[in-house]
Amino acid sequence: MWTKATIEDLLFGTPDELLFREADRVRQEVCGDEVHLRGILEFSNHCWKNCLYCGLRRDNRSLQRYRMLPEEIVALAAKAAGDGMRTIVLQSGEDPWYTKDRVTAIIRGIKKKAGCALTLSLGERRERELREWKEAGADRYLLKHETANPKLFGSLCPGTTLEKRLGCLRLLKSLGYQVGSGILAGLPGQKPEDFVDDLMLLAFLDVDMVGIGPFIPHPETPLGHDPVGDSRNVLRLIAVARIILREVHIPATTALGTVEREGREKGLRVGANVVMANLTPLRFRKRYAIYPSRICAQESAEWCPECLKQRITNLGRKVSRDYGHSLKGERHAA
């Protein structure tokens, strides 16, 4: 078991080269050369929440909002799965238009048409919704805790609390979901000590997936003039997460690829084993503007997976043909 002192030592006292080499060694030992390619469909940019850092926040009136119809979501997900995508991630803002029954119908529709794993990333939802969606066939759920500092979380995420977020994560786990959480790194007011708490929290939650990305200021938010999160810090966090959490899936995030040239490749070299291909139709992609200047806003849904496959191969790694379920033993065997 890792103590606070040993995590601090890794995070603050280990030179980049040594830390990155050890993380890559652990990744090789735990995951081998296989990289999981997940297809993400951002089906609605409506959000009733008002997180200060996010371009989809309710008060951003300059954003043209869109919603995809359930039939279109099912058709696109099934097409991607038919083309070989083993996991489909359905993501949106917190959008109550997608009621319990609508989401259930989408899950059933995809599961009937395609043999893929299904991940939901729909924010904090009610217990009865999460329960029914699991029963309908959803496999995984992503909900980042963003920051383990309760005061900072509270000031950046009006309408919720860290306690509520953690309650939701525990509930997801108890319902049998494979659960992902993670860190938004470089938020204004976030301190280096907070990252130690973030990592300890992820260990305590015993998550299956960990997403760590840099904060990128969005001009139409209250944090629009704050500095961008440091990509080297993100790479170090990914490395420490791999070393201490070991059996977890870690994506090299699109946000990392946006702030740093070859950022996703760098992530894959320091502990990450997952990349996300964007399946969102081009006509909506620019509008899913959580942060500005997102990479891959122009590429087509057909091209994204191909480009990523090429990048994976160029690193000497292999695209996995496996579902990429939890690495934590038999608990989640499909």
Determine the 3-state secondary structure of 210 from DSSP: strand
Query: Which of 94, 202, 291, 320 touches ligand 5AD (CB under 6 A)?
Result: 291
Site for ligand SF4 in 30-59 (CB under 6 A): 47, 49, 51, 54, 56-57
Site for ligand 5AD in 219-278 (CB under 6 A): 255
Determine contact, residues 118/110, Cβ cutoff 8 Å: yes
Strand partners, 214: 185
CA–CA dist 93, 182 (Å, integer): 17
The answer to the question of residue 146 lying near ligand 5AD (CB under 6 A) is yes
The answer to the question of residue 266 lying near ligand SF4 (CB under 6 A) is no
Cβ-based nearer residue to ligand 5AD, 43 or 114: 43
Determine contact, residues 93/257, Cβ cutoff 8 Å: no
199 contact choice in ligand 5AD, ligand SF4, none (CB below 5 to 8 Å, kind-dependent): none
215 contact choice in ligand 5AD, ligand SF4, none (CB below 5 to 8 Å, kind-dependent): ligand 5AD
Q: What are phi and psi of 185, to 5 degrees?
A: -100, 125
Q: How many CB atoms lie within 10 A of CB 31?
A: 24
The answer to the question of residue 186 lying near ligand 5AD (CB under 6 A) is no
The answer to the question of residue 184 lying near ligand 5AD (CB under 6 A) is yes
Tell me the H-state helices in 126-273.
127-136, 150-156, 162-174, 192-205, 231-245, 254-259, 263-269
Cβ at position 241, least distance to ligand SF4 in Å: 21
CA–CA dist 196, 265 (Å, integer): 25
Query: Which of 215, 236, 243, 272 touches ligand 5AD (CB under 6 A)?
Result: 215
Determine contact, residues 191/233, Cβ cutoff 8 Å: no
Determine contact, residues 185/234, Cβ cutoff 8 Å: yes
DSSP code string of 83-143: TT--EEEEEESS-TTS-HHHHHHHHHHHHHH---EEEEE--S--HHHHHHHHHHT--EEE-
Stretch that binds ligand 5AD, among 3-11, 42-50, 82-90, 210-218 (CB under 6 A): 210-218
Stretch that binds ligand 5AD, among 160-168, 215-223, 306-314, 320-328 (CB under 6 A): 215-223
For the CA atoms of 70, 71, 73, 78, the dihedral, rounded to the nearest 10 degrees, stands at 140
Cβ at position 173, least distance to ligand 5AD in Å: 18
Give residue 21's identity as a one-letter amino acid code: R
Cβ at position 218, least distance to ligand 5AD in Å: 5
Cβ-based nearer residue to ligand 5AD, 223 or 301: 223
The answer to the question of residue 93 lying near ligand SF4 (CB under 6 A) is yes
The answer to the question of residue 49 lying near ligand 5AD (CB under 6 A) is no
Query: Which of 180, 213, 257, 267 touches ligand 5AD (CB under 6 A)?
Result: 213
47 contact choice in ligand 5AD, ligand SF4, none (CB below 5 to 8 Å, kind-dependent): ligand SF4
Distance of CA 197 to the CA centre of its chain: 19
Site for ligand 5AD in 57-76 (CB under 6 A): none
Distance of CA 6 to the CA centre of its chain: 26
83: tokens are 């083309």
User: How many residues of this chain bind ligand SF4 (CB under 6 A)?
Assistant: 9
113 contact choice in ligand SF4, ligand 5AD, none (CB below 5 to 8 Å, kind-dependent): none
Chain contacts with ligand SF4 (rule: CB under 6 A): 47, 49, 51, 54, 56-57, 93-94, 123
Chain contacts with ligand 5AD (rule: CB under 6 A): 53-54, 144, 146, 184, 213, 215-216, 218, 255, 290-291
